[in-house]
């Protein structure tokens, strides 16, 4: 990804869809603190979400309805941050999806707690 912010979200989405993750025991990235936190910049964050949407669309791992909801949310958030006019229905859908996603993450967190982190396997299936 070229725009920093949604890269960790991308990893979580891939793991949720059953894609394997591996531990790499070498330095791949060095973070230099500049005092500017990209996560705190809403417009950059929403640009990153839009980039993630394009990547996920090419990978074709989510259903059309999931992609449609995510795309609407991304564009509505980006337009709202830029103070552009946007359709209220799109905003309402985006807001509902946002609340649903937060609830879903709480459910996943609870499930992980109850199963002691053994909700899914990250090992290769052979």
Write the pLDDT tens digit of every residue in 63-90. 888 988 888 888 888 888 887 655 556 6
17 in a structural domain: no
Are 44 and 4 within 8 A, CB to CB? yes
What is the Cβ-side half-sphere exposure of residue 95, based on CA atoms within 13 angstroms? 7
14 occurs within a structural domain: no
**Residues 91-101, mean pLDDT to the nearest whole number:** 73
d(CA 77, CA 43): 9
In a domain, 46, yes or no: yes
Contact in structure between 20 and 124 (CB atoms under 8 Å): yes
Position 113 in a domain: yes
Give the domain range for residue 90: 38-117
pLDDT at 123 exceeding the cut of 70: no
Give dist(CA 98, CA 76) in Å, integer: 11
Domain count, the chain: 1
pLDDT of residue 44: 84
- The pLDDT assigned to 27 comes to 80
pTM of the model: 0.55
Give domain status of residue 92, yes or no.
yes
Q: 25 in a domain, yes or no?
A: no
Residue 124 pLDDT > 50, yes or no?
no
Task: Write down the pLDDT at residue 91.
Answer: 59
How far is the first Cα of the chain from the last one, in angstroms, to the nearest whole number? 30
């Amino acid at each position: 990804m070229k725009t920093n912010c949604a890269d960790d979200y991308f990893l979580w989405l891939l793991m949720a869809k059953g894609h394997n993750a591996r531990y790499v025991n070498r330095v791949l990235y060095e973070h230099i603190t500049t005092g500017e936190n990209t996560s705190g910049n809403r417009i950059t964050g929403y640009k990153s979400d839009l980039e993630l949407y394009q990547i996920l669309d090419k990978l074709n791992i989510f259903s059309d309805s999931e992609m449609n909801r995510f795309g609407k949310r991304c564009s509505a958030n980006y337009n709202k941050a830029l103070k552009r006019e946007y359709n209220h229905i799109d905003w309402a859908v985006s807001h509902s999806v946002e609340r649903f996603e937060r609830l879903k993450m709480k459910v996943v967190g609870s499930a992980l707690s109850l199963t002691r982190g053994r909700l899914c396997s990250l090992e290769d299936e052979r």
